[in-house]
């Protein structure tokens, strides 16, 4: 039975992360998708009504409460299902995995910011230094994942792994020339496998 509404744009990597979690935890049937089309300079009145910052994803619960920010929504959904948790519930392992979740979100933030700067801003007002800084942030983060965190990513498809997979998928969508696979072959091999998961196939964005 549908009990929640997800404000949704299929090209958002943050929305995709929530959608993957819904698939992985068998909660998709509980959610109605409400399509929105927003940008940094144009919002959606219905979204803004109970979500004053106008962010997506946003999840309206059956009692009318609206959760926003993908990390908040994913943790909420993780507490609602009966299978294995997608994040450790306590201890040092929890904080380590949450830091990886944050790192994946930072890659997505940088990639989305680059998209806005290079696509929405008029060409004569684009800031090349900003774009380079975002690119450097992404490259540092991917190098760190390759060097330090591959065993953790391979240990299970939890919230950290879901976030990294969605970040890499968004890079492929919006910056196919980025060339991350050549620099991170281990990460590329891992992603090639997780991209075959039904949850990733079902949520694959099409520009």
Is pLDDT at 56 greater than 60 in this prediction? yes
- pLDDT at position 43, please? 67
* pLDDT band at residue 119 under the 50/70/90 scheme: confident
pTM: 0.93
Q: Tell me the C-alpha distance between 102 and 193, whole Å.
A: 22
Average pLDDT over residues 8-25: 95
Counting beta carbons within 10 angstroms of the beta carbon of residue 2, is it exposed (0 to 12), middle (13 to 18) or buried (19 or more)? exposed
Q: What is the pLDDT of residue 154?
A: 95
DSSP 8-state class, residue 39: B
Distance CA 12, CA 56 (A): 8
């Amino acid at each position: 039975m549908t009990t929640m509404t997800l404000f949704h744009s299929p090209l958002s990597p943050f929305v995709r992360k929530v959608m993957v979690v819904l698939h992985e935890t068998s909660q998709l049937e509980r959610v109605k998708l409400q399509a929105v089309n927003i940008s940094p300079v144009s919002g959606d009145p219905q979204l803004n009504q109970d979500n004053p910052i106008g962010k997506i994803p946003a999840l309206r619960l059956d009692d009318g409460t609206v959760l926003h920010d993908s990390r908040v929504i994913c943790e909420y959904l993780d507490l609602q299902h009966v299978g294995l948790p997608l994040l450790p519930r306590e201890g040092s392992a929890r904080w380590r995995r949450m830091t990886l979740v944050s790192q994946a979100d930072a890659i997505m933030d940088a990639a989305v910011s680059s998209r806005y700067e290079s696509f929405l801003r008029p060409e004569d007002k684009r800031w090349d230094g900003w774009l380079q800084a975002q690119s450097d942030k992404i490259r540092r983060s991917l190098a760190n994942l390759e060097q330090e965190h591959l065993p953790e990513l391979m240990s299970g498809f939890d919230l950290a792994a879901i976030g990294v997979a969605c970040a890499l998928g968004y890079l492929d969508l919006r910056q196919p020339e980025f060339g991350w696979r050549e620099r991170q072959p281990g990460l590329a091999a891992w992603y090639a496998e997780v991209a075959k998961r039904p949850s990733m196939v079902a949520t694959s964005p099409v520009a």
